[in-house]
């Protein structure tokens, strides 16, 4: 297993190279590039936070307690805090991290647990992104990348040192595979780690600058995320009894969507009359040729004075029987009077 000095030395060298690449290759300001490299060097100690009373935990928490409040100065300014208020908040954060968080880590973690894992690396990278919230989004990505790079170097060294040459052959130690992993043996630790990762991811997606980047690259995904955020806000602020109103609005929206998909009058079947062009006492005025009732174009609606033995007459159905004298000698199928068809 690689020692503390090996981990810190490797991540520091890696951080120096990272700072040089950012300054020379990406045009990042020198002081920003150096800070990103320093964050990479510091992150080489992060996986060993589960080492109980060891040097990594003590040094890492002391360094984090001193630097995290400084990274949040931009956030404090955006909240319009006075100088004295910033000092008080920074002192409170130092005490909470240096003593409170350290005690919790000692109590609830085991060595080579989920702190040595890929999800933990993503969590620390996301926290670095959130802590540098007032920087341009590219700089925030560079800082998060530095943290994840230093973290991964620790995991990789642990796996390399888990392979040894002994008795003339290569062999794997029992610790092989316990550093670079996605889950461990303890179900609760796995659930807790991925829950924290989900919370950090939601906080990152809630950042306005992140949403702007997503909208520029993939507008459809950004629209879906905005709808989810709006629905979450509406449900969260909903008062008792308003759930029915929300359902009614959803029903109206669905009905409107179906109405937009319904065919217009121009696409209806030829035998379906246009209601707007139907006279109160007559057939459709815009029908040409044989109409929907099977009558010629010269056919007219009959009146009470019309004889019922003319071609334009309709059979009456108000008699005692549709086949009786009041039917005008014809039934509805224009058959001769004399009873129903056999």
35 belongs to a structural domain: yes
- pLDDT confidence of residue 109: 81
Average pLDDT over residues 208-237: 67
pLDDT at 241 over 90: no
Q: Which residue has the higher pLDDT, 212 or 33?
A: 33
**Looking at the domain assignment, is residue 72 inside a domain?**
no
Token couple for 234: 């509406």
CA gyration radius for the chain? 40
pTM: 0.61
Number of domains in the chain: 1
Asked if pLDDT for residue 201 goes beyond 80, the answer is: yes
Residue 60 falls inside a structural domain: no
Query: pLDDT confidence of 15, banded at 50, 70, 90?
Result: very high
Tokens 């969590």 belong to 123
pLDDT at residue 242, as a whole number: 55
Higher-scoring residue by pLDDT: 58, 248: 58
Weakest-pLDDT range from 15-24, 56-65, 138-147, 162-171: 162-171
Does a structural domain hold residue 302? no
Cα 332 from chain centroid (whole Å):
65
Range of the domain at 169: 4-51+111-231
Burial class (CB in 10 A: 0-12, 13-18, 19+), 54: middle
> pLDDT tens across 66-85, in order?
889 988 888 888 888 899 99
In a domain, 330, yes or no: no
Higher pLDDT, 104 or 318: 104
Cα of first residue to Cα of last residue in the chain, in angstroms, is 103
């Amino acid at each position: 297993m690689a020692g503390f000095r090996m981990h810190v030395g490797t991540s520091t060298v890696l951080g120096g190279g990272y700072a040089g690449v950012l300054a020379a290759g990406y045009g990042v300001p020198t002081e920003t590039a150096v800070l990103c490299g320093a964050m990479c060097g510091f992150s080489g100690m992060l996986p060993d936070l589960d080492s109980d009373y060891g040097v990594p935990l003590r040094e890492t928490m002391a360094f984090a307690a001193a630097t995290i409040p400084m990274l949040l100065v931009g956030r404090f300014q955006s909240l319009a805090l006075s100088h004295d208020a910033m000092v008080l908040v920074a002192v409170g954060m130092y005490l909470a991290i240096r003593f409170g968080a350290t005690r919790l880590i000692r109590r609830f973690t085991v060595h080579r647990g989920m702190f040595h894992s890929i999800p933990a690396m993503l969590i620390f990278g996301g926290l670095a992104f959130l802590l540098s919230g007032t920087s341009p989004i590219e700089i925030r990505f560079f800082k998060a990348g530095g943290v994840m790079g230093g973290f991964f170097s620790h995991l990789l060294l642990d796996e390399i040192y888990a392979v040894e040459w002994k008795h003339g052959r290569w062999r794997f130690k029992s610790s092989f595979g316990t550093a670079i992993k996605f889950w461990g043996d303890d179900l609760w630790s796995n659930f807790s780690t991925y829950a924290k990762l989900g919370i950090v991811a939601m906080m990152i997606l809630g950042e306005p600058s992140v949403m702007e980047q997503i909208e520029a690259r993939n507008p459809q995904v950004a629209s879906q995320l905005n709808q989810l955020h709006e629905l979450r806000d509406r449900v969260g602020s909903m008062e008792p009894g308003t759930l029915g109103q929300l359902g009614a609005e959803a029903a109206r929206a669905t009905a409107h969507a179906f109405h937009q998909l319904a065919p217009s009058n121009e696409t209806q079947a030829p035998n379906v009359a246009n209601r707007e062009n139907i006279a109160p006492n007559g057939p459709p005025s815009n029908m040409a040729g044989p109409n929907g009732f099977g009558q010629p174009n010269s056919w007219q609606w009959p009146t009470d004075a019309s004889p019922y033995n003319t071609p334009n007459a309709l059979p009456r159905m108000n008699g005692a029987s549709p086949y009786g004298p009041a039917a005008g000698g014809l039934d509805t199928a224009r058959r001769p009077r004399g009873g129903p068809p056999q």
